[in-house]
Amino acid sequence: MQVKSENNSSLGIVLEFTSTVNKSMSVLLISQGMDHVSSAFSKVVRTSEHKGNAPGWVINEGKIEMVGHVLTAIHALCYRPKMGLKSRPLGPDHTAPSSNDYFAVLGHVTVKTSDYKPDFPVSTSWLVDGEFINWNTDPQGSRILSVKISWKLKEGKKDVFPHYNVYVEKVPKLEDGNQSTTLEHVQEYLGVAHVNCFYVSELKVPSSISSLKFIIQVCGFDGTNQNLEESPFYKLEIKGP
């Protein structure tokens, strides 16, 4: 699952299962401790957490084996890992804090079998192009780019994907004017497209950037996303000083 949270909040997922003998179980998947309510669930699974593709987002992954059970429901649970129920301060009317004290966003949830492998076309299967390229300059000397990015599978291949995440990677220059090959390149999330094109409006490009790489991340119906390193892209070289 991909999540974003603020104010020391965290987000967990509760999975409800029903067995073949109609017995229910609830499993809590969390990345941080929640011992004060763990007894409310049949099982607690700790997930591994790593950085997501976009700033502020993290991806939590966990494994669970439930032989003889069917997944019947999925719930999101927002909580504060460092605040137990007994120590949580009361509001001015001696009630529990409002929901505004907690903030977390669930980007997507992916449930798959251990041997599942998503079937995404390789990046060379796509034709990606940029058109209506327009450059301007702001008072600080940075360039401002507007461009339409469009993509399609090559002839003979069928596009059956629900949406695409669009990122840009700004490749910096070295002092001699060449592209950097040692600095870490950061993918900046631009938005989501439900059709095979995306219009980038007034993207600020500092003078220290030598090229832009627009990455089209293919998203499947099952919630899986293609790795950014394997996704199709459009590269725009920046000419001039």
Q: What digits encode the pLDDT tens for the residues 49-61? A: 766 666 667 777 7
| Beta-ladder partners of 147 | 200
Residues of the chain with CATH 2.60.40.10: 123-237
Q: State how far the Cα of 112 lies from the Cα of 93, in Å rounded to an integer.
A: 45
Per-residue pLDDT, 51: 67
Half-sphere exposure (Cβ direction) of 150: Cα atoms closer than 13 Å = 6
Per-residue pLDDT, 116: 67
The helix or strand, by DSSP H or E, that contains position 116, with its residue range, turns out to be none
SS3 98: coil
State the residue for tokens 């309510």. 37
What's the whole-model pTM score? 0.61
185-216 pLDDT per residue, tens: 678 889 889 999 999 999 988 888 888 999 99
SS3 64: coil
Fold classification of 123-237 (topology level): Immunoglobulin-like (2.60.40)
Q: What residue ranges of the chain have pLDDT lower than 70?
A: 1-9, 32-38, 50-56, 80-104, 106-108, 113-116, 156-157, 175-185, 240-241
